[in-house]
Amino acid sequence: MEYPKTNKALRFSSIGEDLKVVEIDVPPLLSTEILVKVHAASINPVDIQLWRSGIIGVVSGQKGMGRDFSGTVVSVGSSVQGWTAGDEIFGLLFHVFGEGTFSQYIRVNPSSDPVAKKPTGFTHEQAASVPLVALTAFSCLDWLPTVQQSPRRVVVRGAAGGTGSWIVQLAKAVYDCHVTAICSGRNAKYVSGLGADEVIDYTKEDVSATLRPQILNLRGAYVTIVGDKTNVKSLGGPITYLTSPAQILRFIKGWVFGPRYACVSLYSKSDLLEQVARLADRGEVQAEVQEVIEGAFDEREAWRKAVQMMEEKRVRGKVTLAIL
């Protein structure tokens, strides 16, 4: 494969401004990097949160959008091992101030960016839907307390969404849990198909009343990826310990008396993506892509539709952009 001269990418410079298509030269690779031709990229709430966040103003210049990708390796730096041109790869490029994956070509450092060979049974669109949410699901599930009784019981809120759908699947396939999933009725069948043992339709049932016995278990744990924030537009994860300090007291109280409390962030580990790829190749997990949006770099402005769909909070699984 020939080393490309130019790269089309979606970029923005100031908070929340419309993304623009830019055509830039592809710089030579560092010895530690590989160049990837992106075929698909998925959108996550954090893409929108960062785009609208004051944080991005800290560094001037253009920033990219998109963290997840799936594509083909085009070129490999001289000190990189384990990758060759032509390999199909999926992964996470989480560089807040740098390039995003809504881009034809990206430079990836396989020793610091989580990457793995694309599962053969997944399309690029499916593979691009996996990294950020699966890595988040692992970090949540690792917080499960070790208890005598087996299987452990897990309740997953938002089970039909990007992260929730992976928590349900990994809780069954890797952590051997009994899963109660919470979603709206229209997604009940989908979530059962992911392996959930029980489904609660929050539009019909009083979730707190149904779950009271489990929630009050002092040897249990409450794990969140959003903290106490109620707005999907602001950043979640451990940063919310600063914005809602009541969580710090809850964390300490949880360690001393139980139930444990934690607001966690995604892992950044290639071996977990390799594990997901193995599960996918054995047919033990699936990747639901509600829509593949075409027109990333033309007047169709795929990014606009992707943002709108995420903000409506009704996406089942994920939304991906086709990157040509």
- Stretch 143-182 residues interacting with ligand NAP (CB under 6 A): 157-158, 160-164, 182
Packed helices 131-141 and 270-281: angle between N→C axes, nearest 10 degrees: 100
Query: For residues 3 and 75, is the Cβ–Cβ distance under 8 A?
Result: yes
We find the least distance from the C-beta atom of residue 266 to ligand NAP, in angstroms, to be: 4
Cβ neighbours of 125 (radius 10 Å): 23
- Stretch 25-54 residues interacting with ligand NAP (CB under 6 A): 44-46
Size of the site for ligand NAP (CB under 6 A): 29
Query: For residues 114 and 92, is the Cβ–Cβ distance under 8 A?
Result: yes
Taking the least distance from each CB to ligand NAP, the nearer of 161 and 254 is 161
We find the least distance from the C-beta atom of residue 23 to ligand NAP, in angstroms, to be: 30
Read off the tokens for 277. Answer: 């790829």
We find the least distance from the C-beta atom of residue 161 to ligand NAP, in angstroms, to be: 2
Contact residue for ligand NAP among 53, 109, 123, 184 (CB under 6 A):
184
- Phi and psi at residue 109, in whole multiples of 5°? -105, 105
The strand pair at 63-64 and 115-117 is best described as unpaired
We find the least distance from the C-beta atom of residue 170 to ligand NAP, in angstroms, to be: 13
Tell whether residue 269 is a contact of ligand NAP (CB under 6 A): no
We find the least distance from the C-beta atom of residue 10 to ligand NAP, in angstroms, to be: 20
Contact residue for ligand NAP among 42, 75, 129, 136 (CB under 6 A):
136
- Whose CA is closest to 277, among 166, 116, 86? 116
Taking the least distance from each CB to ligand NAP, the nearer of 25 and 312 is 312
We find the least distance from the C-beta atom of residue 169 to ligand NAP, in angstroms, to be: 13
Read off the tokens for 168. Answer: 């349900």
We find the least distance from the C-beta atom of residue 127 to ligand NAP, in angstroms, to be: 17
We find the least distance from the C-beta atom of residue 250 to ligand NAP, in angstroms, to be: 16
Contact residue for ligand NAP among 85, 232, 246, 252 (CB under 6 A):
232
Amino acid identity of residue 65, one-letter, is M
CA atoms of 259 and 150, how far apart (whole Å) = 18
CA atoms of 205 and 182, how far apart (whole Å) = 10
Contact residue for ligand NAP among 129, 169, 187, 247 (CB under 6 A):
187
Q: Count Cα neighbours of 30 within 13 Å in the Cβ-side half-sphere.
A: 8
CA-to-CA separations, 261 to 25, 140, 163, 276, in angstroms, rounded: 47, 11, 19, 27
Taking the least distance from each CB to ligand NAP, the nearer of 168 and 225 is 225
Tell whether residue 19 is a contact of ligand NAP (CB under 6 A): no
Taking the least distance from each CB to ligand NAP, the nearer of 171 and 266 is 266
Residue 134: exposure state from Cβ atoms within 10 A (0-12, 13-18, ≥19): buried
Helix (H, G, I), strand (E, B) or coil at 235: coil
Helix (H, G, I), strand (E, B) or coil at 108: strand
Query: For residues 88 and 118, is the Cβ–Cβ distance under 8 A?
Result: yes
| Chain residue whose CB lies nearest ligand NAP | 161
- Stretch 54-93 residues interacting with ligand NAP (CB under 6 A): none
Taking the least distance from each CB to ligand NAP, the nearer of 63 and 107 is 63
DSSP secondary structure code for residue 111 in this structure: T
Which residues bind to ligand NAP, rule: CB under 6 A? 44-46, 133, 136, 157-158, 160-164, 182-184, 187, 202, 225-226, 232, 236-237, 265-266, 310, 313-316
